[in-house]
Structure 1
Amino acid sequence: MSDKTIRHRLRPFSLLTASMALACVTSGAHAAQDSSPSLSTSDNQVTPQDSDATNPLDHDSDHSHDVTHVTASPMNVLHESIGLSRMPQDAMHTPQNVNVVPQVLMQQQNVKSLDEALKNVPGITASVGEGEGGMAGDQFLIRGFAAQNDIYENGLRDFGVYTRDSFDYDHVSVIKGPSSEVFGNGTTGGAINIVTKTPHLGNSYQASFSGGSGSYYRGTLDVNQQLTNSIAFRLTGMGNENDVVGRDRIYSHRWGIAPSLAFGLGKKVSFVLEYFHQNDNRIPDYGVPVVYSSSTAIGRPVTEYGVKRTNWYGTTYDRDNSSDDMITGRLTAKVNPILTLYNDMRGGIYHRYFSASQEACSNMTPGTAAYNNNVINGSAPSATCQSDFFSADPASAQVARNGGVGGPEPYRQSDWSIQDVFSGVAHLRTGRFRHEIIGGFDIEYVTDHRQNYAYGSNRPSTSLLDPSPYVPGLTLGNCNQYPNRLVNIGNGVGRKCYKDSDALDVGFFLSDQVWLTDYLSVKAGFRWDNWNSHYSATGGSTATPDVHYGQNETTINPSVSIMYTPRSNLMVYFNWSESTTPLSMYVTNSSEPMNAKSASAAPERSRLYEVGAKYSAFHDRVGFTAALFRLEKDNSVQTDPTTGDISATSDQERNQGLELSASGTLLPNWMFYGTYALYDPTITKAGSTSSKQGGQIQYVPHNQATAWTSYEIAPRKPWNMTLGGGITWRQGVWLDQANTARVPATVEFDAMVAHRFNGNWKVAMNAYNLDNRLNYGSLFSNRVTPSVGRSFLFNVSAQY
């Protein structure tokens, strides 16, 4: 399908008409048999309307059709809590496209990380951290826009730079589009909110063990103990060791623990105290380089030309060791039937040692920074890697491992952060109008200290076809030993030893949803933020003076929504919202939060126009959503593939499209979860030479879809069995804004089979990438990481 045809199909009026027609047809077909929704019983659901007689979502007319008992499905996510007090409604009644990955889906797929959970959400891709910072960790993009600063747990920002394990997850919500009115600065493409497991009344005990391909060994524990009639304790834990099937020398050894204590369960005043610790020792994987067969060819991963997918171009010095601790307290006080108050506070401490090799296979020009930083004994043996590979002697091709700026070199990072969000939700009337008013303030502070190290000499190149991680004679020292070998950061920063940065954000938010009639409501809100940040680079080489930068930004981000809810299981909505992203937000996960140019740069601005429909059908067994959106972004932020610097450009980008989802129980014992996204991602104004006017935004596919289904045979019989399987598909994407490098489509088939013994024990087998297809997960402009090859995982679990 051509770009012209896709753009034609995405004309707003034609899609709007189709969406509204779909909503109306479905509503009419099932109006006689649907009833009001049964809210989810998730431990973390914020449901002030449970005991609130003034709940604005309760329509008296809805109950006139209640003729059967509601049988909700755990796979129908429309009544799942989003998981934060500032968005108290469920996904069904939130006027924005929300994708929820439920607990039952994660269990069937044996999800082990945030990255694996988000494979079920269209529009999310992972990028590789680059440059001197070499951030790696969880670096996601939503609808093509960076979201590394937009990961939350229970509505509080998670500032850590690490790969998140899923052992403590209840479910994961992805709120699509700008949400600065709720979350503050950031959220250009959306926000990821992890809802954790917390104590509940009653006792439950669960343990599981998994083993399989790639020397995979994993154990988890989940214990909930009721202590009194209103106090409960919960403990979740995890131990995990694994290699990566299809990649040489890549492994992760990690463990985690998350105890929590809840007071006042079922009472008007409740308090939940949570502690989280995760320790991880892993090898960073920068993947394989992208190469160009000729000066006019489209760049492709070198593995597309026959190079082994297992090839890893790092060294024995590469490490990514992280230790992360967070303590969270969440207070809920139902003052009266009208007003509920919340106060959520979190403190976090994050430590990390990171060392990675940045490989490159290109033709380097003598005298350039890339050439000079790879000179060994007077020459750069890898300078002709690309042309050597496409010559008659491809075995002569040598890959550089120093990167374009002589790095990344190792560094040690220590961060700490604190955030407090106080909010109130009020349901009241003024005359004939009902209101839901949400207001409060948000204060967060984060600081980052980084000490750089340096090698005594350049890392030599290695064979493109048969790489070796061993580098004899390489010595690692502190910045005082080799100050002139530190990474040379541009824009006047130079070779510096210490990088220190901090940021303080003070925000105030207020919104009011007014019911003009029983079925028509309007919601308007805004958030005011003041973002004050500082950055300094000191020590190291004296050739460049120490630098100190600062940025102070005051932003206002509004949001307006119109909602039509003729029944509590049907909503049609329109949403307009804006978001702001100051460059200095990237304190902990950027190699260079600020420089002389970006310190005075205007923040990135984005706007969302979205119309959609949500419908919970068949007595809440199946949920359907449809959303048509247009997302515009000015002053686009880009990451330099050579230096890793995050900088503002004058690019203007637009992504518009259609997102669909369906999830629930289609027939007794038959569950389904499916999503589809059709995007038209366009660079509407190329403000830099590295962007193509009218080109496609990097990393964003035109089409993307996921599907998972499971069927339980004879569920109450000794010979019971559950069969499941699914597909993940993402169309090929461009890797750069100039549209000169491309990665092929991703197609992955997964499957599972499970059997239960006497209601308490279960054995299961999961298979991933059944056809062993060469897919690519993490993406960047000049390299990509091959995904896991065909693998099998056996699991045995007990639950009492």
Structure 2
Amino acid sequence: MLPPRRLRPFSAATATLALACSSAAHAATTSTTGNASATVLAGAASTAASTSGQGGGATTTTAATARTTGTSTTTPPADMQPDADGVLSDHRYDHTTVTASPMNALRQSVGLSRMPHDAMHTPQNINVVPQVLMQQQNVKSLDEALKNVPGITASVGEGEGGMAGDQFLIRGFQSQNDIYENGLRDFGVYTRDSFDYDHVSVIKGPSSEVFGNGTTGGAINIVTKTPHLGNAYQANFSGGSGSYYRGTLDINQQLTDSIAFRLTGMGNENNVVGRDYIYSHRWGIAPSIAFGLGKKVSFVLEYFHQNDNRIPDYGVPVVYKPGQAIGRPVTEYGVRRTNWYGTTYDQDNSSDDMITGRLTAHVIPILTLYNDMRGGIFHRYFSASQEACSSMAAGTAAYNNNLINGSVPSATCNSDFFSANPASAQVARNGGVGGPEPYRQSDWSIQDVFSGVARFKTGRFRHEVIGGFDIEYVTDHRQNYAYGSNRTSTSLLNPSMYVPGLVLGNCNQYPDRLVNISGVGKKCYKDSDALDVGFFLSDQVWLTDSLSIKAGFRWDNWNSHYSATGGNTAKYPDVHYGQDETTINPSVSVMYTPRSNLMVYFNWSQSTTPLSMYVTNSSEPMNAKNQSAAPERSSLYEIGAKYSAFHDRIGMTAALFRLDKSNSIQTDPTTGDISATSDQERNQGLELSISGTLLPNWMFYGTYALYDPTITKAGSTSSKQGGQIQYVPHNQATAWTSYEIAPRRPWNMTVGGGLTWRQGVWLDQANTARAPATVEFDAMVSHRFNNHWRVAMNAYNLDNRLNYGSLFSNRVTPSIGRSFLFNVSAQY
């Protein structure tokens, strides 16, 4: 038997010193060709000088994609000359030296070889969270970075087995399989720390032609810190509210004229302000080495490890006040936001290791080849209590699962809470089917993406052809545990984590106490694997200097298996399911680029999501009914414009889109079953963004989204015809600004602040439960003692508003309360 786990004390233990930190932005400069005006150069010098004291001021960068945009100079030189990358190209389309603000998201790379251009010249709406923004906000996780992106929602674990970690939705559609790192899929289920991030890109809309199956709402691509020429050393320490202690270190050492080594790392220990008993104790390290820097052939080898011991937070339940048809979080009726309904057994321990190799070879002047490979091993022990506050009908399975010594106090929780004696309300911790039950998970995965980018001419037409293949394999093994008895209910108003007499054992000790899942049974072991083989090809053709068309497709074969074995096999026979899907996903784009800093585009693309994609991050990916279900399919229609103004100091985007999804995949909040429905959904709207240096020393980053999310066909009883898609707000906006006072003076100071706003959202497809709007005000102030030392103070949720971060259909998780974080950093 496993002994009950004791919660760690909330002492201000010193955090493990970290080894990672944000790197300084490095400007890439190239020679100016054609008639680069003196005005541009003067503007570059002026802007760089005016903002250099702000921890990443304006930098002179290269519009690396200008050669493919159709921008021409007045007098073209010889037809074919080597460009800055060593590739022969028409010099009329070569580089132009520009001055880019580090806050201008349009000049950031997307971060993968299959999308070789920056956000400015990629015909799809892309939100980039730049390094300077993450530094000013003191971002510590992927979740915090994505708060700057409209259309991103975090969801909590679901159903039997439960899943926590990073579970994001983009434009209201699940993207738990759509998190990438440097263009390779990150299969792990864990909460990602940001210590090794350079910047984060969110590619909106279906992108299966690039990434493969998935990406219904979009893809999240993390660009990591990698070695560079020159030496740089940085360390910082943070401490503040909630017993928060964090240290990071970032070391870059040049070894030869073309080899460099980099080491980043982190140690972090914190509680959560506004939530009882929730903490995270984690550390990570990410060494990397690069060979051939500045050469035609280069290779980067990276290793990543993160270890995390945290308490999972399933939040607070949604309740229904008598006489009202709309459910709301119980905290909206006066219950304390700090209430946590778990037990001493609850924990989420994860260990994640990835090794990545990335090869780049300019093999011939017109052809560049890439090979990116990753292997990953992920281990996790997860145990959580899923609260439920309901008025259940006598005799139902959920009702019986909440029996306590023959009585049913938790089954009448909702009605008791709104009675004359609300203190009698008891909340269940077993979930709707007696779970979730603890489990131990072990995964490993491997992926290899080989691609080539060829730039050449056929007659008067220029081409950029991108093609290659992608092979990935992932396997998941789980061992379930079981409690010897039901976890007793606890007070809704004053919960206790202690459950006297509760014993946790392995599945062989209590085989009949395992959760009974429809189509699976009460099983001890659950094993899944999936193999995806894909081929992709696209061609961008310039019809004129300014007008180009890009068309491409990807072919995938997705083969997956799922088995549930062990337990009482006489009563519940072992089951084995499989699914084999072949999909083709096309995309077509039309781009008009009259100048290198302006693009108007139209994009149409499709994506597919086989139900069995959720191998590592779904508790029940398949059953007898849905193993033959058709994949979810989505189509995007988008027209947009991107403009980088004032010598790339400010980037602006606007996009109108329509996203249609059929055969919608849903997750049952009670059982965790993934199932395909005949629902059809449509999200359409407008997205705007502006980022950069508005005036000398004044940076700004802002986004706005207006959505019309509609269930156009309710193919299931749990959906409302014409209703609003769950988790998608009608309006959402973010803003962050900072201003540096007296730069390079002893009394210098940088002040900044921002707003995150999300309109209220429906929590279910039936539109019967709703979470209120989120409004959060944050601020920062910093001071530089010299070129090396900086102190800063960040404040979060200044008005201590009760917001809700992670959402699910019958519960929500309160966001952090008012908190302050002090930071000191050194950079040499």
1:531 aligns with 2:579: no
- CA distance in 2 between partners of 1:382 and 1:35 (Å): 71
- CA distance in 2 between partners of 1:754 and 1:486 (Å): 54
- CA distance in 2 between partners of 1:547 and 1:197 (Å): 44
State the 1:695 CA deviation. Answer: 0.2
- CA distance in 2 between partners of 1:637 and 1:723 (Å): 45
Letter in 1 for 2:435: G
Q: Is the 8 A contact 1:42 1:81 kept in 2?
A: no
Give the alignment's TM-score, normalised by structure 1.
Answer: 0.93
1:700 aligns with 2:700: no
Determine the structure 1 residue equivalent to 2:775.
747
Determine the structure 2 residue equivalent to 1:657.
685
1:50 aligns with 2:74: no
- CA distance in 2 between partners of 1:58 and 1:471 (Å): 74
Q: Is the 8 A contact 2:60 2:98 kept in 1?
A: no
SS of the aligned residue for 1:624 comes to strand
Change (3 A) 1:32 1:147: farther
Match of 1:606 among 628, 634, 637: 634
Letter in 2 for 1:745: A
CA deviation profile, 1:404-423 (whole Å, cap 9, x unmatched): 11100100000000000000
Determine the structure 1 residue equivalent to 2:319.
291
Determine the structure 2 residue equivalent to 1:235.
263
1:122 aligns with 2:150: yes
State the 1:34 CA deviation. Answer: 7.5
Q: Residues 258-269 of structure 1 correspond to what in structure 2 (within 5 A)?
A: 258-269=286-297
SS of the aligned residue for 2:360 comes to strand
Determine the structure 1 residue equivalent to 2:754.
726
Determine the structure 1 residue equivalent to 2:183.
155
Determine the structure 1 residue equivalent to 2:376.
348
- CA distance in 2 between partners of 1:37 and 1:363 (Å): 67
State the 1:37 CA deviation. Answer: 12
State the 1:337 CA deviation. Answer: 2.1
Letter in 2 for 1:508: F
Match of 1:446 among 464, 471, 474: 474
CA deviation profile, 1:413-443 (whole Å, cap 9, x unmatched): 0000000000000000000000000000000
State the 1:51 CA deviation. Answer: 2.7
- CA distance in 2 between partners of 1:227 and 1:42 (Å): 25
Where does structure 1 differ by over 6 angstroms across 4 or more consecutive aligned residues?
A: 31-49
Q: Residues 133-172 of structure 1 correspond to what in structure 2 (within 5 A)?
A: 133-172=161-200
Change (3 A) 1:42 1:454: farther
- CA distance in 2 between partners of 1:625 and 1:34 (Å): 22
1:302 aligns with 2:330: yes
CA deviation profile, 1:579-626 (whole Å, cap 9, x unmatched): 000000000000101001110000000000000000000110000000
Q: Is the 8 A contact 1:253 1:281 kept in 2?
A: yes
Determine the structure 1 residue equivalent to 2:212.
184
RMSD value, Cα: 2.0
- CA distance in 1 between partners of 2:756 and 2:345 (Å): 35
Determine the structure 1 residue equivalent to 2:532.
505
SS of the aligned residue for 1:71 comes to strand
Determine the structure 2 residue equivalent to 1:386.
414
- CA distance in 1 between partners of 2:410 and 2:61 (Å): 56
CA deviation profile, 1:300-345 (whole Å, cap 9, x unmatched): 0000000000000000100000000000000000112200000000
Q: How many residues align?
A: 763
- CA distance in 2 between partners of 1:527 and 1:46 (Å): 23
Match of 2:544 among 517, 522, 528: 517
Q: Is the 8 A contact 2:680 2:712 kept in 1?
A: yes
Match of 2:282 among 254, 257, 278: 254
Determine the structure 1 residue equivalent to 2:766.
738
Match of 1:560 among 562, 582, 588: 588
1:623 aligns with 2:657: no
Determine the structure 2 residue equivalent to 1:25.
none
Unaligned runs of 5+ in 1: 1-30, 64-68
- CA distance in 2 between partners of 1:547 and 1:755 (Å): 62
State the 1:206 CA deviation. Answer: 0.2
1:592 aligns with 2:620: yes
Letter in 2 for 1:493: V
Q: Is the 8 A contact 1:36 1:567 kept in 2?
A: no
Match of 1:94 among 119, 122, 144: 122
- CA distance in 2 between partners of 1:53 and 1:256 (Å): 38
Determine the structure 1 residue equivalent to 2:397.
369
Determine the structure 1 residue equivalent to 2:430.
402
Q: Is the 8 A contact 2:664 2:676 kept in 1?
A: yes
CA deviation profile, 1:737-756 (whole Å, cap 9, x unmatched): 00000000000000000000
Q: Is the 8 A contact 1:660 1:676 kept in 2?
A: yes
- CA distance in 2 between partners of 1:510 and 1:77 (Å): 27
Q: Is the 8 A contact 1:153 1:196 kept in 2?
A: yes
Determine the structure 1 residue equivalent to 2:77.
none
1:480 aligns with 2:514: no
1:204 aligns with 2:232: yes
SS of the aligned residue for 2:123 comes to coil
CA deviation profile, 1:24-80 (whole Å, cap 9, x unmatched): xxxxxxx998899999889999999633565579548x97xxxxx843200001111
- CA distance in 1 between partners of 2:572 and 2:43 (Å): 64
Determine the structure 1 residue equivalent to 2:108.
80
CA deviation profile, 1:152-199 (whole Å, cap 9, x unmatched): 000000000000000000000000000000000000000000000000
Determine the structure 1 residue equivalent to 2:33.
none
1:634 aligns with 2:668: no
State the 1:132 CA deviation. Answer: 1.2
Determine the structure 1 residue equivalent to 2:49.
none
- CA distance in 2 between partners of 1:538 and 1:226 (Å): 53
Determine the structure 1 residue equivalent to 2:701.
673
Q: Is the 8 A contact 2:286 2:302 kept in 1?
A: yes
SS of the aligned residue for 1:701 comes to coil
SS of the aligned residue for 1:229 comes to coil
1:412 aligns with 2:440: yes
State the 1:129 CA deviation. Answer: 1.3
- CA distance in 1 between partners of 2:102 and 2:376 (Å): 33
Q: Is the 8 A contact 1:34 1:618 kept in 2?
A: no
Determine the structure 2 residue equivalent to 1:5.
none
Determine the structure 1 residue equivalent to 2:54.
none
CA deviation profile, 1:602-659 (whole Å, cap 9, x unmatched): 0000000000000000110000000000000000011101111111000000000000
Letter in 2 for 1:50: A
State the 1:133 CA deviation. Answer: 2.3
SS of the aligned residue for 2:706 comes to strand
1:571 aligns with 2:605: no
Give the alignment's TM-score, normalised by structure 2.
Answer: 0.90
Change (3 A) 1:53 1:482: closer
SS of the aligned residue for 1:51 comes to coil
Letter in 1 for 2:241: S
Q: Is the 8 A contact 1:45 1:83 kept in 2?
A: no
Determine the structure 2 residue equivalent to 1:764.
792
- CA distance in 1 between partners of 2:584 and 2:226 (Å): 34
Q: Residues 307-346 of structure 1 correspond to what in structure 2 (within 5 A)?
A: 307-346=335-374
CA deviation profile, 1:221-248 (whole Å, cap 9, x unmatched): 0000000000000000000000000000
Q: Percent identity?
A: 87
Determine the structure 2 residue equivalent to 1:27.
none
